[in-house]
Amino acid sequence: MIPVTTCPGCKLDQFFLLSPGSDTKICRRCGAHLGFSVIEIRLDQSKPHPQNGDEVSLGSLLRSLRRKRFMTQLHVAKLARTDRSHIARLEANVTRPNMTSLIKILRAVGVTAIYLRTAEADHVNRKQNSQK
């Protein structure tokens, strides 16, 4: 399923897709900010950090979201019921959170939805066969 959003300015209903190079989404018709960003967090452990300028690390994403909302690490930690040092280690890409912790932290910084994208069956089968 491809998510659909409505522009707050011109009310155009439109699909949004991941596009490299820009995480901020704007309306195709009027150019207004749609009020959300799309960030890809790779689950592939062989590439834990960004390899080029188009990708964003989890730590820099968390730091950016926190700063956009004028929050301190301590404030986020209290809302997520964790330690401030844990937030600092995540933002520095020293450690990765488990899914439960990540969801709590994302909620604390105001994330309202997470979309998961799966690989196509043919792509998964080819990758598994090439690893044998």
Question: Is the model's pLDDT at 78 over the cut of 80?
Answer: yes
Give domain status of residue 75, yes or no. yes
Inter-axis angle of helices 73-80 and 84-91, to 10 degrees?
110
Find the domain containing 75 and state its range: 46-114
**Rounded distance between C-alpha atoms, residue 55 and residue 7, angstroms:** 25
More reliable by pLDDT, 50 or 132: 132
77: CB partners within 8 A, 6+ apart: 83, 84, 86, 87
CATH of the domain at 63: 1.10.260.40
Please give the tally of structural domains in the chain.
1
Question: Is the model's pLDDT at 112 over the cut of 90?
Answer: no
Q: Kindly state the DSSP code that residue 64 receives in the 8-state scheme.
A: H
Query: Quick one: average pLDDT of 100-122?
Result: 81
| pTM of the shown model | 0.60
Query: Quick one: average pLDDT of 41-61?
Result: 62
- Per-residue pLDDT of 8-38, as tens digits, reads 788 888 776 544 445 557 787 888 877 766 6
Q: Kindly state the DSSP code that residue 21 receives in the 8-state scheme.
A: T
**Rounded distance between C-alpha atoms, residue 57 and residue 52, angstroms:** 10
Give domain status of residue 24, yes or no. no
Give domain status of residue 6, yes or no. no
